[in-house]
Structure 1
Amino acid sequence: MISAKQVTTDKERDDAFSVRKMVFVEEQGVPIHLELDDQDATAIHFVSYDEDVVFGAGRVRDLGDGIAKVERVCILPSYRGKHLGNLMMEKMENYARENGFTKIILNSQSYAVPFYEKLHYEITSPEFMDAGIPHRAMEKKL
């Protein structure tokens, strides 16, 4: 069974970090010190499983003023193209709504902009580089 959930245990947190390392550090070449950062301590983490096999991760941070920032959304290559990122985003958006946030912002890697546009996110910036990867800022009102 496919599932996505808010992290509540050390194992789930470790699973989320493992996926992030595989995607961002190993696959995309982001330096580990940029990927696993000091924001991890206060962020709310999410993880996706296929039965007991982890395949996705993401986090949400409270920026104040009703704004949540979705970050570090990733799906392992073998699970991409199956609409499983939608489930992860749904869980993070539901968390944001349930906790009183009125807007979500994120920095999408440019290749993933169409994914977020299908979820009704709007581009709010020109393309910029982050960790050597082209990005666009996006937002969605809740």
Structure 2
Amino acid sequence: MQDAKHWVGQISRRHPTYQDALALRYDVFFRPHGLPEHVTIDKWEAASKHFAAIVDGELVSYGRLTESEPGIFSISQMVTRPDRQGEGHGTLVLKRIIAYAVKKGAKRISLNARVHCTAFYEKQGFVPDGEVLSSALTGIPHILMVLGFSDVKVDS
């Protein structure tokens, strides 16, 4: 789904929507726990690739991809505006991120999913790998999930 009103793709940190993405990440992940805004930016921020879904000029979904070593990718900070969840925007961002990583030679793609979101990632081929652990910052239970490459369907 990509037209003048709906766009999904990579954004730079200079893109105006990037600031909206930081605000959305903070509002959904960190503000509810009383954490300061600076925790939104971690050591991977500058080296990561950033992806967004924009509808009618407004950010609705975002995700981040980091290559920690050649071919080893992790997805993080996947977030969709609460009032736009269930409309498929997060799925489109996730598919775009996966396609990018695969084209860049991914050998492994993983993410730490909030436990209540695992079904979302399983629909795209991710499988749990390990035990549930609580986030050091928020205390929210997460589980490592890894993409099963036999399930990957790359849409451009």
2:7 aligns with one of 3, 8, 17: 3
Partner of 2:152: none
**Which structure is richer in relative contact order (CA contacts within 8 A, separation 6 or more)?**
1
Partner of 1:115: 120
**Partner amino acid for 1:136?**
I
Q: Which runs of 4+ in 1 moved over 2 A?
A: 28-35
Percent identity reads 24
The answer (yes or no) to whether the contact 2:71–2:104 under 8 Å persists in 1 is no
Partners in 1 of 2:63 and 2:27 — Cα distance? 13
The answer (yes or no) to whether the contact 1:16–1:45 under 8 Å persists in 2 is no
The gaps in structure 2 that reach 5 residues or longer are 150-156
Structure 1 pair 116–60 and aligned structure 2 pair: CA distance change class (3 A):
same
* Structure (1/2) with the larger helix percentage: 1
Structure 1 pair 65–30 and aligned structure 2 pair: CA distance change class (3 A):
farther
1:138 aligns with one of 124, 145, 149: 145
Between structure 1 and structure 2, the one with the greater Rg is: 2
Q: CA RMSD in A?
A: 1.6
* Structure (1/2) with the larger strand percentage: 1
1:85 aligns with one of 90, 107, 115: 90
Give TM-score, length-normalised by structure 2. 0.83
Q: Does 1:19 align with 2:24?
A: yes
Which deviates more, 63-72 or 115-124? Answer: 63-72
Partner of 2:72: 67
Structure 1 pair 89–45 and aligned structure 2 pair: CA distance change class (3 A):
same
The gaps in structure 1 that reach 5 residues or longer are none
Q: Does 1:106 align with 2:111?
A: yes
Q: How many residues were matched structurally?
A: 141
